[in-house]
Amino acid sequence: MLLAGVIPVCAYNPNVDGPPRQEFRPSRLPAAWGHFSGIIGDSLVMTGGTDGRDLKVGRLYQYDLKTGEWSGSTVPYLGVYTAGAVIGDRAYVTGGQWVNVPLPYVFTLGLDGRDSVELPRMPIARRGHAAVAFMGKLFILGGFNPSNSRAMTDAESYDPRMKKWTELKEMPTPRWNHAAVIVGKRIVLLGGFSDVSMTTLEDSVEAYDPELRQWNTLGRMPTGLIGHAAAAVDGKIYVFGGNTGSGITSKTWVFIPGTGRWKELKAMPRPNCFMAANQHNGLIYLTGGFDGFTALAVLWRYDPISDTWTELQSDGAPDESQGVAKRSERFEPKSEVDRFAQRPGVRPNDFAVVIGIDSYRSVRAASNGEHDAATMAKLFKSILGVPEANIVLLTGANAARADMSKFLEEWLPRHADKDSRVYVYFSGHGAPDSRTGGGIPRAMGRRPCLPPVHRVPDEGPL
């Protein structure tokens, strides 16, 4: 059965001015779907949506991606199935609905919900639309308005400087509950319903060039989807979850425009749809959603380079990524070495690359390198507070030259910044300067290096 969404019954009272702004201190994101989330600076903000019983209106939740700290404030009331984007240091949140009444409202707000302002309303009220920011403008694409009983092909842009809406070239395919991303100089639309009977799920991928005012087709998705999320990193489009028509999926795909190729990646921690996805510094953050039974109170992070997921907030008690360890994983000292420090708070911006090698292809074996590396990886997490997702453990055949180069020369520089603590641990053979001795060092080359598992004498240092 295809479930498009359950909207709670409530009085239509958007209260566009909202109550006086107040701050509060949340400990986690609420369970919600059909909400807005965006990233302003180093903070993820979330507002609106529903948990299937109540509308999550009038509150902004804010998560600092560097410190892991939470804050919140009251904001103007927003509905469910909203869409928005961030331009500069402000979020722009548009449309949505209360019960079956589509909303035309557009709000802009800064961090902590400050300076919330209602802007000129959209030309057409709608919900289930997509919104992106591009070239300093807000683009609104598609959606659904029950009053005209059709999936929309309407597209508009809003210029914050001119405070003016502009009608764009009509979309070739009607869509609502679809996804949109920016790739290069084009806006790419993926999936969605193309009818109001909620029976036709689009699998087409279409792109709009705002400068040329032209649409073209990029290909088709592996399956039709609605309620999915998408984000773009390094010219690649990552698509998460959604409803396939036969159920809600946990699948993750990547699409490279220009090639027409799709590849399935590691699945999300659980099936999810109507969540929101945001890209920041090469990482993708997913908030909230609906698993077919209940609204989800989750915050997940996906790393496209390592194809790994981290649950910063699981759908239950706050986990160790917020500085609170799961009971079954609390650090219990088992030796004198382990007793020298207590478990600290998690340091979300620290990283570790841990390498251990016992057997080499061209030189004699080392002893206990892989065991030592595995032990150090646990200590980096339990004693030094490095998040598990920020620890790369390379052992045995996975410690080849290409693996070491990928994480030391690409992954670390891309994710670490000036405030990060970076740990590199290596257990195995070392190759000091050949002038200091013979044997293995002389065979490995003239410069000091960390020999990978498949190293050969003429390969050159890492």
pLDDT at site 462: 45
Distance CA 394, CA 355 (A): 5
What value, to the nearest 5°, has the Cα angle with vertex 134 and ends 129 and 139?
A: 25
Predicted pLDDT at 315? 75
SS3 of residue 388 by DSSP:
helix
* HEC string for 6-51: CCCCCCCCCCCCCCCCCEECCCCCCCCECCEEEEECCEEEEECCEC
pLDDT score recorded for residue 399 = 81
Residue 454 confidence (pLDDT): 60
CATH 2.120.10.80 residue spans of the chain: 23-322
Give pTM, 2 decimals. 0.68
Tokens of 120: 């000129």
Segment holding 215, helix H or strand E: strand 214-220
**In the prediction, which pLDDT does 310 show?**
95
Kindly tell me the sign of the dihedral angle through the C-alpha atoms of 156, 159, 165, 169: negative
Percent above pLDDT 90 for the chain: 47
- pLDDT for the residue 373: 86
pLDDT at residue number 7: 33
Q: Say what the pLDDT of residue 55 is.
A: 61
Element (DSSP H or E) covering residue 230: strand 229-233
Cα 174 from Cα 179, distance rounded (Å): 13
List of the chain residues with pLDDT < 70: 1-21, 53-57, 76-78, 99-100, 316-345, 361-365, 367, 430-451, 453-462
Which fold would CATH assign to domain 23-322? Answer: Neuraminidase (2.120.10)
Give pLDDT, residue 450: 65
In this prediction, residue 51 carries a pLDDT of 80
